Every structure is written in C-alpha cells, then in structure tokens.
Amino acid sequence: MTVTGRIDGVPSDVWHEEVLAPQFAYEAEHLLPHYLAIEKALLLEYLRMGLVDAAGAASVAARLDTLAADAIRAEPRENLSDISFAVERHVQSGATPPFAAWHVDRSRNDLQVCAQLMAARENFGAVAVDLVVLGRAVTALAARYTDTPMPGHTHGQAAQIITPGYHLAALAAETTAALRRMLHTYDETDACPLGSGAMAGQELPWDRARLAGLLGFTRAQPHALVGVASRTWTTVIAADLAAYAAVLSRFTTDLMTWSGSGFGFLDLPDELAGISAAMPQKRNFPVLERIRGRCAHVVGRSADITAGQRNTPYTNTVEVSKETGAHLHVQSGAMRSLLRLAHAVVTGATFHTDRMRAACAEDHLGGFTLANRLTLDCGIPWRTAQVVAGRYVKHAVDRGLRADRPDAALLRTCAAEAGYEAEPAGELLTESFDVDRGLRAKNSEGSAHPDRVKDLLADEERELDRLGAEFTRGAERRAAAARRLDALLAVPDRP
C-alpha cells in the first residue's frame, strides 16, 4: 500500500541520508512514546464518536503496544522515512487490520507539535527537579559558612566583608527565581495543541478538552492556528534555561577566582581535580571550566531557537518545527549535564577560613564603616567624612599599615586637615576595621550579617520545598494521565 497519490517518486538518497533518516532516528528515540500516547487518546475519541467499537479500539491499542523504537525504521519506499507513516504501517501490518475510520480527520501537523510539546515539558520538568536539587545543595553549603568572613569584590577589587554563605545565598535566590519563572512557563505551555488539525481545525466533533486531559494537559489550546504554528513555547523554555545558565556561569567565574592560587579561598576534592602533564606542582579544577563552557552552549542554543523562527511564516513549517525545534532537546541535555556537574562541585566544595580572614585583615575593608562613624559619632558631614576616611586609607597603604594595625594619630591628622576632630580615634579605627565587627555592621534585611543570611536561607529552603512540590505534582499528573489512558483502553466498553 502506498502512502500518497500525489507524488510517484521516493525520497532520494541524499534527502534520506542527510535529513529524513536522522529526523526519524531522533523522533523514534525521543518522541515515539508520546506519539503512541496521542494515538491512544485519539482511539478513545473514535470510540466515543461511534467510529469504532470496543473490540476494534482494543485491537489497535494492542498493536500499538508492540511498537518500540527498534520495531520501526526509516524506509523511503515503505513509509517515506516518516515516523507517522511508519506507525501507520506497523498497525496496518498486524493480524487484524485497523477499522476503516482509523486516522480519519487527522493531520500530522498537530500530532507532531503535540508530541514535541509533551517531550519538551517532560524535559523541562526534569531540569526543574535538577534545579531544586542544586538549590538545596547550595543552601546547605551556604549554611556552613554564614559566620566565616571573606572579602567581597566590586569592579575586581576587594570592597566589603561578606561570607561565602552570603554569596551562596544569592545563588540560592537566583535559583528559586529561575524556578518561579519556569513554573510560570510550565503553566503557560499547559495547553494541548491536539485537535488543531493542519491549521484550521478539524471536521469531526472532537472533545479537545478530553484529549488534553488524557495526555496530561490541563486545557486545550483554544486557537487552532496557534496550536500548530506557534513555537513561542520553545523560545520561552529556551530563554528560561539560558537565563539561569548565564547566572550560573557568573557564579562559576567566582568559584574559579576563589579556587585560583591568587586567592586560595576555595578547594575541591581530588575526585573533581585535574593535573598538569608538564607541571607536577599544579592541581587544576577543569570541572569549573566545563560548567562555564556548557553554560555557553545553553545560551547559544536559545539564540539558535529564536533565530530559527525569525522571518518565517506563521504556520506549520518544517524549518521551525523540526530543523529549529530539535535544538531544544539538545539544550535541555546540556543544561541537565551542567547542573549535575555544578551539584558535584557544590557538595564537594570547602572554604579555607584562615586565608579568607587573613585577606580581610590585610585590606582596609571597613572604610565605609569608618566614614559612617565619623559622621554619626563626630558630626563630620558625610562627603567630608568620606574624604577623611579615604585619606587615612591612602596614607596607611603608603606606609604599609595593615587594617588590623590602626594608627590613631594618622586619623587625627587626616581629620584636622579637613577642619574636624575624630575622637576617640583609636576606638573608631578598631571598631571600623575589626573583621568580625565589620561583618556584623551591616544589619539591614538581606545584608551579609550572619543572622540576616540565616533568615534568607530559611526563606529559600521553604521556597524550594514549595516549588519542588509544584513540579512534582505536574509530573504526577502526567503519569496519572498515562495510567488512565491505558486503563480506559484495557476496559474498552468504558467511554
């Protein structure tokens, strides 16, 4: 039996080898289970509409259950190297031919986009679970270092005293923010395109809401053209992943800096370390370079997916649905890989507290506090206080004075040059440049104060629990829909 009367030829070798066969293999590996679920949902609708009896529907369902990726292959002459036609031929070649109306009023367009969307949502949910796992590891590591001073940097220069816990709490906050965006995207893409037809809808009285529920969606896509033409869901999913990858690459850059010999703040276990073939003294951390490199792949795929839709007509096209759309699966795989690597780094990381404290003590990171104290305790106007504090630091650095060895006479001189007194100078300097006091001087909500960081981490942990539960419910709903689909076909006399 031929699959078309419109053309007489079969796909050429180059067309088959370069395009159709790879596409077929991709869909057989990643989309076939979703194609089969769609076929079963359609069977139940044919049964409801009276186009097949229970025995006929059960027969086709049984034949579909024998279809695995290794049971079909791209055949230019038999199925035009198209997986939809291959499914048809597999069912038709069974012992009992399908009922005459099987696949009546059907199009490959909405079937393909529905399978693609189901796979994308499944992958997206898996990424979300990985993100929750990473977020919990980040908060656990942060909780170990909420009281450990380290220099915080702005513009590449040491700026103020923070802690690893404070810095990591920011990554936890970015992770929960990403998950909230992803949950919104997940909800927005929860509209089933099945029943849209080729572009203008279908002719039989399909119950599209029922089809959506059978496939684990909460609703049907209300506009048929949007159902088959829109791939905004691919750009939004890709953008969500790219946004987090860009953030994670920035935090990874910080880890690379801290683990470098210039700082020596961070260490990773030997299991995540590498060596130099030429320099035996070196102990490298290429895993961080791999993470940052794969972050670039995730960001790049997002650009590919968006560019692939630019200037295309708003209808179903292979250019958008297959040529461009396949990048989403590759991007999801790269994202899950880098998240696994990041999790290994976070769970294996340790900080050298003595080195970080020493770095805080060497630099004059309490300059901001000193300026505040000169204004609040000595009545020196704020801008003038900034000048006095800056001059003190400049002269102290020129003389080789460490921050933990203050010079009260120098501060008095700097204040006098500005026409003010700075007393008690020794106490002001001690309070301003003491490392532990400097850490606790910032006390506003969201600050680096250890108590405020603990509050932040508690909030993030609660949010991770909530978001994790939301994505778990989505996965459970999909699994329940799959079980219901099989159950309804196992008892075919139930409409």
What domains sit in the chain, N to C, each tagged with a CATH number? 109-149+164-358+453-484 (1.20.200.10), 363-440 (1.10.40)
Per-residue exposure over 438-475, b if at least 16 CB sit within 10 Å of its own CB, e if not: bbbbbeeeebbbbebbbebbeebbebbeebbebbeebb
**What is the C-alpha separation between 495 and 492, in angstroms, rounded?**
7
**What is the C-alpha separation between 456 and 446, in angstroms, rounded?**
7
Task: For residue range 221-271, list pLDDT tens digits in order.
Answer: 999 999 999 999 999 999 999 999 999 999 999 999 999 988 999 999 989
Burial class of residue 79 (count of CB atoms within 10 Å of its CB; 0-12, 13-18, 19+): buried
Question: Nearest CA to 147 among 470, 453, 458?
Answer: 453
Beta strand extents in 139-273 (DSSP E only) = 150-154, 157-162, 191-192, 219-220, 266-267
465 or 490: which leads in pLDDT: 465
DSSP designation for 217? -
Burial class of residue 262 (count of CB atoms within 10 Å of its CB; 0-12, 13-18, 19+): exposed
pLDDT at res. 163:
97
Q: What is the residue-wise DSSP string for 294-354?
A: HHHHHHHHHHHHHHTTTT--SS--HIIIIIITHHHHHHHHHHHHHHHHHHHHHHH-EE-HH
CB 256 within 8 A of CB 349: no
**What is the C-alpha separation between 434 and 388, in angstroms, rounded?**
19
Task: For residue range 151-193, list pLDDT tens digits in order.
Answer: 999 999 999 999 999 999 999 999 999 999 999 999 999 999 9
> Which tokens in the block code for residue 432?
């301003």
**What is the C-alpha separation between 292 and 248, in angstroms, rounded?**
8
Q: Name the pLDDT band for 31 (thresholds 50, 70, 90).
A: very high
| Mean pLDDT calculated for residue range 397-411 | 91
Question: Nearest CA to 101 among 206, 192, 8?
Answer: 206
Task: For residue range 307-317, list pLDDT tens digits in order.
Answer: 999 999 999 99
pLDDT at res. 412:
96
**What is the C-alpha separation between 19 and 17, in angstroms, rounded?**
6
**What is the C-alpha separation between 436 and 357, in angstroms, rounded?**
9
pLDDT at res. 57:
92
**What is the C-alpha separation between 94 and 231, in angstroms, rounded?**
36
| Residue 27: half-sphere exposure toward Cβ, Cα within 13 Å | 30
**What is the C-alpha separation between 430 and 442, in angstroms, rounded?**
16
**What is the C-alpha separation between 266 and 167, in angstroms, rounded?**
13
Q: Name the pLDDT band for 8 (thresholds 50, 70, 90).
A: confident
| Mean pLDDT calculated for residue range 399-415 | 92
**What is the C-alpha separation between 376 and 368, in angstroms, rounded?**
12
Q: Name the pLDDT band for 494 (thresholds 50, 70, 90).
A: very low
Q: Name the pLDDT band for 404 (thresholds 50, 70, 90).
A: confident
pLDDT at res. 489:
86
Cα dihedral across residues 19, 226, 117, 184: positive or negative: positive
**What is the C-alpha separation between 485 and 214, in angstroms, rounded?**
6
Q: What is the residue-wise DSSP string for 118-144?
A: HHHHHHHHHHHHHHHHHHHHHHHHHHH
**What is the C-alpha separation between 38 and 60, in angstroms, rounded?**
13
pLDDT at res. 492:
46
**What is the C-alpha separation between 95 and 460, in angstroms, rounded?**
58
Evaluate if residue 295 carries a pLDDT over 50: yes
pLDDT at res. 1:
54
